[in-house]
Amino acid sequence: MEEKIFIIELAKALKDKRDVVFIFIGPDGTSIRCAVESGNILYIEGLYGSGKSEIERLIKWKKGKIIQRPLKEEDRNKKSEFIDPNPIISVLEKIEEKRDLMNEFLKEYLKLLKALVNELEMSSINFLELINSNKSKSIYYIQNKGFLFLRDSEVEGFLNTIGKFLKNFHTNEIVIFSKLIIEDWQYDLLKLPFEKQPEIEGQISPNLLVKFLNDINGLFFICEDDKKIIVIKKGENKRIYKTSSEIAILENLEIKSSPFVLIWQ
């Protein structure tokens, strides 16, 4: 049975005004039972309690297996405390907002990687020979295919030309490639989206963003209206790239409004 994110499945049922009983199975093997009717929660109860505390437990559990049952008359007769469905449904809006922001990030990220390619060193080689000849942390642009992340002869990830991250990549073809102009510390940060979700996301005040930039090492994506900025920072090393229309290196971060950001650490 496929694992799903509990609060999202509950939010979808509330938004669609479905009549259903969910059995959410937690990581410890216990379960929470939740009955939904016409956009409202009739009851939610588990081994340790009922009501809002079990909503909090669902959020803490994050995801797992879900069993769905038809809503019966006995469920309708088992109403408990009122739980406002709107804050739960709003989770879907936040997910859409994050998805839009991630799509923006991927477009700008691809632009940045393409700008870091040394176009003067385009070569053709058997793909396995390329992998076996690599002796460092390197990113290669493979023409018409995407960006290959290599640590020595190990493939650590691949970003194709439409922005899809893959854990691995292989081809039997002769490939036309070029190596990106990056240092080891930049490689580690540029591959962060392969490994994890952003740890900080949402709208952030300019002052707080400057503080983050001073205190946090990582990959930053800053989206302020039409302005898009990618920051790569580790220790004293820092690169700030404006990416919206053309790629340019900035000396300082100039932010006026409270932008939406994604930060990987």
pLDDT confidence tier of residue 130, bands split at 50, 70 and 90: very high
List C-alpha distances in Å: 104 to 131, 193, 228.
Answer: 30, 14, 9
**What residues pair up with 151 in beta bridges, in sequence order?**
137, 154
Q: What is the pLDDT of residues 133-162, one digit of tens each?
A: 999 999 999 999 999 999 999 999 999 999
pLDDT, mean of residues 26-34:
95
Fill in the DSSP letter of residue 51: T
Is the model more confident about 264 or about 257?
264
pLDDT, mean of residues 123-139:
94
Q: What is the pLDDT of residue 95?
A: 82
Residue 80, pLDDT above cutoff 80: yes
Q: Answer for the pair 134, 120: CB distance below 8 angstroms, yes or no.
A: no
Q: How far is CA 259 from the centre of its chain?
A: 18
Q: What is the pLDDT of residue 157?
A: 93
Q: Answer for the pair 127, 171: CB distance below 8 angstroms, yes or no.
A: yes
Q: What is the pLDDT of residue 262?
A: 95
pLDDT confidence tier of residue 233, bands split at 50, 70 and 90: very high
Segments in the chain forming alpha helices (H): 6-15, 52-61, 73-76, 86-115, 127-133, 184-190, 192-195, 206-215
Q: What percent helix, strand, coil does the chain show, rounded to 5? A: 30, 35, 30
Q: What is the pLDDT of residue 81?
A: 84
Residue 107, pLDDT above cutoff 90: yes
Please report the sign of the dihedral spanned by the C-alpha atoms of residue 174, residue 124, residue 112, residue 192: positive
Q: What is the pLDDT of residues 176-231, one digit of tens each?
A: 999 999 999 999 999 999 888 899 988 999 999 999 999 999 999 999 888 999 99
Residue 101, pLDDT above cutoff 90: no
C-alpha to C-alpha distance for 153 and 133, rounded to whole angstroms:
7
The residue with tokens 């297996």 is 65
Torsion of CA 169, 175, 178, 133, to 10 degrees: 70
Q: Answer for the pair 41, 34: CB distance below 8 angstroms, yes or no.
A: yes
Q: What is the pLDDT of residue 14?
A: 97
- Domain edges within the chain: 4-84, 118-181, 196-264
Question: Pick from 63, 64, 24: which is nearest to 46 by CA?
Answer: 24
pLDDT, mean of residues 230-248:
94
25 backbone dihedrals φ, ψ, rounded to 5°: -100, 115
List C-alpha distances in Å: 67 to 58, 122, 169, 176, 223.
Answer: 14, 54, 36, 49, 39
pLDDT confidence tier of residue 258, bands split at 50, 70 and 90: very high
C-alpha to C-alpha distance for 57 and 46, rounded to whole angstroms:
9
**Element at 177 (helix H, strand E):** strand 174-179
Q: Answer for the pair 252, 240: CB distance below 8 angstroms, yes or no.
A: yes
C-alpha to C-alpha distance for 230 and 105, rounded to whole angstroms:
9
Q: What is the pLDDT of residues 34-63, one digit of tens each?
A: 999 999 999 999 998 999 999 999 999 999
